[in-house]
Amino acid sequence: MTNALYTASSTATGGRQGHVKSSDNVLDLELTVPKGLGGQGEEGKTNPEQLFSAGYSACFDSALQLVAGKAKKKINSTVTAAVSIAKAGEGFGLAVELTAEIEGVTQEEAEELVEKANQICPYSRAINGNVEVKKTAIAK
């Protein structure tokens, strides 16, 4: 990508039982293997799936706000990204369940906004065709 507007950089050591730190030191986290993957699931530590779900939910909510604004819709929204990991052949694969709760629109409008947000969200675009994503829109 030659015209990058922003680049984030983080460094991990020790894999899933190690440490991850962003280049600006804002993110500085200890990692643990979740119990579901046979690890300790140590309290106060995170894992790659949690980090991915946090980034994806924030990015998707921003995309939702953008498409709502372009459609002249004033909304309040909350997006939850549940990221699962499972065996896939010789390795592992991810699946995501995105749930967008949107105030200020009808159910049909909420579904349309989620589909439009999915088209512009960088996370959605990056994983398109590689990760199963179930999207749910809930008008509130």
Q: What tens digit of pLDDT does each residue of 46-81 get? A: 999 999 999 999 999 999 999 999 999 999 999 999
* 135/80 same-domain check: yes
- Work out the pLDDT band at 34, boundaries 50, 70, 90: very high
Same domain (yes/no): 66, 123 = yes
Average of per-residue pLDDT across 121-138: 97
Please report the pLDDT score of residue 74 as a whole number: 96
Contact 83, 34 (CB under 8 A): no
One domain for residues 66 and 128: yes
Other Cβ atoms less than 10 A from the Cβ of 53: the count is 20
Tens of pLDDT, residues 85-121: 999 999 999 999 999 999 999 999 999 999 999 999 9
pLDDT at 123: 98
| Residues 70 and 80 reside in one and the same domain | yes
If asked whether residues 38 and 54 sit together in one domain, one would say no
Q: Cα–Cα distances in Å, from 138 out to 65, 79, 103, 124? A: 15, 10, 9, 19
Q: How many domains does the chain have?
A: 2
Of 23, 35, 136, 4, nearest in space to 80 by CA? 136
- Domain match, 96 and 109 both: yes
Q: Is the pLDDT of residue 1 over 80?
A: no
Q: What 3-state class would DSSP assign to 80? A: strand
pLDDT of residue 2: 81
- Count the Cβ atoms, other than its own, within 10 Å of residue 111: 18
What are the residues whose beta carbons fall under 8 Å from the beta carbon of 74, sequence distance 6 or more?
68, 104
> Which CATH number characterizes residue 9's domain?
2.20.25.10
Are both 53 and 96 inside the same structural domain? yes
Q: Is pLDDT of 32 > 90?
A: yes
Both 2 and 14 in one domain: the answer is yes
- Residue 3 confidence (pLDDT): 93
User: Could you tell me the residue range of the domain that residue 72 belongs to?
Assistant: 48-139
User: Torsion angle of alpha carbons 48, 67, 105, 78, nearest 10°?
Assistant: 20
Is the domain of 26 the same as that of 59? no
